[in-house]
Amino acid sequence: MNIRVCFAKYDRLRFLGHLDVMRYFQHAIARSGIPIAYSQGFHPHMIMSFAQPLALSMTSDGEYFDCELAADAEVDAEDLCERLQAAMCDGFYIRSVTVLPEREPNTRKQTGMSQIAGAMYLCEPLPGCEKALTDALSVFAGMTSYCIEKKAKNGMRAVDVRAGVHAIGIVKGSCCGADGEEITSENESGVRVEYLADDGVFSVPETLGEGWGREHSEHALHRDGAPRFVFAVDAGSENNISAELIATALRQVAAGELPERCFTLHRMELYRSMDGHMISLSE
């Protein structure tokens, strides 16, 4: 029996690297007493598989790992979720536990990692970069293609960054809510997102914050008055549009107006592809 765990990573923990997050969850599972399956051999380890690593300094609502439970384990997703949550430290939150369907015999194992096809990010410019970034984004959104060189295994390779970005949205009323009131985590879900570009591959959210665990975070709340953007991009092993690639593209478009670090990113969700459409990894 396999389960998929979706968790959020906030606050100070945005400076924990991927390997440390994996270690953390191994310990957390041991503390929670969840009946996890171990590999065979003299040094058995928990059978776990983590999805896409998150870059340092990024927070996230869409982190995933799959793990296998012991053969005789009784599975109640809600109970597992509660037990895992009880083993968390501040900054990590379990958002959901999903029981994965049994694999058809003789088919390849589909872990979260191999399924990933897309990601959605919330982007906030760093102080001083607001205008240049907004301008660059409008220009970028109007393009149909934008290639940059990326280091690959065998030399440099041209990547079409623009083609990998499926939707670009601007969060409306970022200094205040729809009717002029101040935005708080409670009413943030009512904040509208307006799209500069959207090719329909993702079902993009019309308002911000639907069902996200952001209420746990003291950090994720944005600075007053700062604009915010939403990106829906290709991710995973096929064509990964990393935060770094987007930043490089926007810096080039802005022609020297933007510094090396010009925004912070929050990962909203990871997706897999189904019939040419992106659906959440937890669905």
Instruction: Find the binding residues for another protein in span 162-221 (CB under 8 A).
Output: 218-219
Query: Which one, 30 or 156, has the nearer CB to another protein?
Result: 30
Say whether residue 244 binds another protein (CB under 8 A): no
User: Please, which residue, 128 or 142, has the CB nearer to another protein?
Assistant: 128
3-state helix, strand, coil in the chain (%, to 5): 25, 35, 45
Write the DSSP string, 39-76.
-SSSS--B-EEE-SPPPTT-EEEEEEEEEEBPTT----
Using CB under 8 A, which of 18, 53, 56, 76 touches another protein? 56
Question: Phi/psi of residue 52, each to 5°?
Answer: -25, 115
CB of 128 to another protein, least distance (A): 13
Alpha helices for the chain (secondary structure H)? 18-32, 77-86, 112-115, 130-141, 161-164, 243-253
Structure tokens that stand for 237 in this block: 């092993």
With binding defined as CB under 8 A, does residue 91 bind another protein? yes
User: Shortest gap between Cβ of 43 and another protein (angstroms)?
Assistant: 7
Which among 82-90, 96-104, 105-113, 114-122 is the span making contact with another protein, rule CB under 8 A?
A: 82-90
Closest to 164 in 3D by CA, of 139, 197, 134: 197
Stretch of 8-16, 60-68, 174-182, 266-274 lying at the interface with another protein (CB under 8 A): 8-16
Question: Is residue 15 within the footprint of another protein (CB under 8 A)?
Answer: yes
What token pair was written down for 258? Answer: 């933007």
Task: Report in angstroms how near the CB of residue 29 gets to another protein at its nearest.
Answer: 7
Q: How many CB atoms are located within 10 Å of the residue 135 CB?
A: 15
Contacts of another protein in 123-142 (CB under 8 A):
none
Q: Which of 18, 103, 131, 261 binds another protein (CB under 8 A)?
A: 261
Q: How many residues bind another protein (CB under 8 A)?
A: 31
> Least separation, in Å, of the C-beta of 27 and another protein?
4
Identified binder of another protein from the candidate list 90, 194, 199, 224, rule CB under 8 A: 90
Give the 3-state secondary structure of residue 225.
Answer: coil
Binding mask 16-55 for another protein (x = CB under 8 A): xx-xx--xx-xxxxxxx-----x---xxx-----------
Q: How far apart are the first and last CA of the chain?
A: 17
Contact status, residue 61 vs residue 10, Cβ threshold 8 Å: no
Whole-angstrom Cα distance, residue 265 to residue 122?
6
How many other CB atoms are found less than 10 A from the CB of residue 162?
Answer: 21
List interacting residues with another protein (CB under 8 A). Answer: 11-13, 15-17, 19-20, 23-24, 26-32, 38, 42-44, 56-57, 87, 89-91, 218-219, 261, 264
